[in-house]
């Protein structure tokens, strides 16, 4: 099988798992976050066990993938189920998009540092088998899982059309795949997901009058932080 086609198939499998898990997740109470103890313990044990190893055993990536899916969905669903106004989601989408862009594009960014370390990447990204390749490869980060669940639960909690949410996030992931295939490098997924979600739900642009001052401050601070990170990365 062609390598690009094989990657596309694997990407589709991971995205289907993330979308399905997120769409079916219930609204968790805050105390449910205590359940993070199990997946976090699995990830910590995996990372500790791989320190100093040249390679990560593929069989060990299965419980890691499950732990990342569970942890990301739990956090995203818990937060998303408590979003009180649709206008908050446009702010969330913007701030997380800027943070993700800076984190990936800036060499000293968190995501860029994680991608540079194979053992670390293995416990922060869901890996999947690529047809025609022996090794499993990282596909999606835990942050992408978290935001997918957040968008689904927020949409359900606020009464936004779920079919439109499905379609928007699917289109967002398709855009990510296309850019990945063309660019052949790590791509921040959150901008694609955020833009697709808010465009599918125009009501998210309606920010309450009492929230506008805080919204402007949040946008300005996020923009300044993102611009500074990119400036330091490429010009400092």
* Token couple for 109: 């960014």
Report the pLDDT value the prediction gives residue 236, as an integer from 0 to 100.
Answer: 58
What's the 3-state SS for 99-121? HHHHHHHCCCCHHHHHHCCHHHH
Whether the pTM exceeds 0.75: the reply is yes
| Chunked mean pLDDT (size 10), the chain, 236 residues | 82 95 94 93 80 54 89 97 94 93 77 78 85 80 96 97 97 96 86 97 93 89 81 66
Is 41 exposed, middle or buried, given 0-12, 13-18 or 19+ CB atoms closer than 10 A?
exposed
Report the pLDDT value the prediction gives residue 186, as an integer from 0 to 100.
Answer: 79
Report the pLDDT value the prediction gives residue 158, as an integer from 0 to 100.
Answer: 96
* Token couple for 33: 């976050």
Report the pLDDT value the prediction gives residue 78, as an integer from 0 to 100.
Answer: 97
Question: Which of 170, 128, 127 shows the shortest CA–CA distance to 22?
Answer: 170
* Token couple for 156: 């359900």
* Token couple for 184: 């052949």
């Amino acid at each position: 099988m062609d390598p690009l086609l094989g990657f596309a198939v694997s990407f589709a499998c991971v995205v289907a798992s993330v979308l399905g898990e997120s769409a079916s997740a219930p609204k968790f109470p805050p105390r449910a976050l205590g359940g993070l103890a199990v997946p976090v313990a699995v990830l910590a044990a995996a990372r500790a066990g791989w320190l100093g190893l040249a390679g990560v055993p593929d069989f060990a990536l299965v419980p890691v993938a499950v732990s990342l899916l569970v942890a990301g969905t739990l956090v995203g669903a818990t937060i998303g189920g408590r979003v009180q106004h649709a206008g908050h989601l446009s702010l969330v989408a913007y701030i997380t998009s800027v943070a993700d862009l800076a984190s990936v594009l800036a060499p000293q960014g968190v995501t860029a540092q994680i991608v540079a370390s194979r053992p670390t990447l293995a416990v922060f990204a869901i890996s999947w088998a690529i047809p025609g390749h022996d090794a499993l490869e990282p596909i999606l980060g835990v942050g992408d899982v978290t935001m997918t669940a957040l968008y689904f639960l927020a949409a359900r909690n606020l009464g936004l059309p779920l079919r439109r949410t499905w379609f928007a996030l699917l289109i967002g992931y398709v855009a990510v795949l296309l850019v990945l295939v063309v660019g052949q490098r790590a791509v921040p997924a959150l901008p694609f997901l955020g833009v697709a979600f808010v465009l599918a739900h125009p009501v998210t642009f309606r920010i309450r009058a009492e929230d506008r001052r805080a919204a402007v401050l949040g946008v300005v601070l996020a923009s300044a932080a993102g611009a500074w990170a990119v400036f330091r990365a490429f010009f400092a």
